[in-house]
Amino acid sequence: MTRKKIILSVNGVRNEIEVEAKETLLETLRNRLDLTGAKLGCDQQVCGSCTVLMNDLPVSSCSVLAMDADGCEILTVEGLGAGGALHPIQQAFIEHGAFQCAYCTPGLILAVKYLLSRFPRPTEPQLRHYLAGNICRCGCHVEILQAVRSLARRAQENQL
């Protein structure tokens, strides 16, 4: 069997898609659904630029076969925000200048979303541990951490 029809719910939209046996989830999102937020970096589950949430858990979509995502709920950066407004994480990244080329940003934002869903007020070790799999080649890690700390502070003040 080289092709198979799968059901993929992406950002709340149900899709029936025929995928190749070796096709990755990242390829399906980018090439079949035109969702180009998640990026191909290392292609080896190391850099995190392809991070999306699959059933609420972060995965490297470069290393997940599309067939294995059959029936799953996927969230990509395009699914954040509502009514044209940015998601608070996106807003915090802008306020803190937490990117330069932004290649890593979509994956990082999903990783931050997962981190804050588990720990709304993460400790410094939690923050560093959960974002360790997302590498920024532009070296914006200081600003990225500042952005996430600001979200944690807002959570503490019940503004999120």
**E strand or H helix at 149:** helix 141-156
> Given the complex with ligand FES, which of 97 and 120 has the nearer CB atom?
97
Running DSSP on this structure, what letter comes out for residue 111? Answer: H
Cα gap 151→160, rounded to integer Å: 8
Q: For ligand FES, what does the binding mask look like between residues 68 and 87, x meaning CB under 6 A? A: --------------------
Rama region for 103: left / alpha / beta (φ>0; ψ in -120 to 50; rest)? alpha
Minimum distance between the CB of residue 73 and ligand FES, rounded to whole angstroms? 20
**Can you tell me the distance from the alpha carbon of 157 to that of 23, in angstroms, rounded to the nearest whole number?**
44
What single string gives the DSSP state of each residue in 76-123?
-GGG-SBTTBPPHHHHHHHHTT--SS-SSHHHHHHHHHHHHHH-SS--
Q: Among 101, 120, 124, 156, which residue interacts with ligand FES (rule: CB under 6 A)? A: 101
Whole-number minimum distance, CB 134 to ligand FES, in Å?
9
Which x/- pattern, by CB under 6 A, does the window 27-56 give for ligand FES?
Answer: -------------xxxx-xxxxxx------
Which range binds ligand FES by CB under 6 A, 8-16, 71-79, 109-117, 137-145? 137-145
Structure tokens at 32: 């079949």
Cβ closer to ligand FES: 7 or 101?
Answer: 101
Q: Does 90 bind ligand FES (CB under 6 A)?
A: no
Binding site for ligand FES (CB under 6 A): 40-43, 45-50, 60, 62, 99-104, 136-138, 140
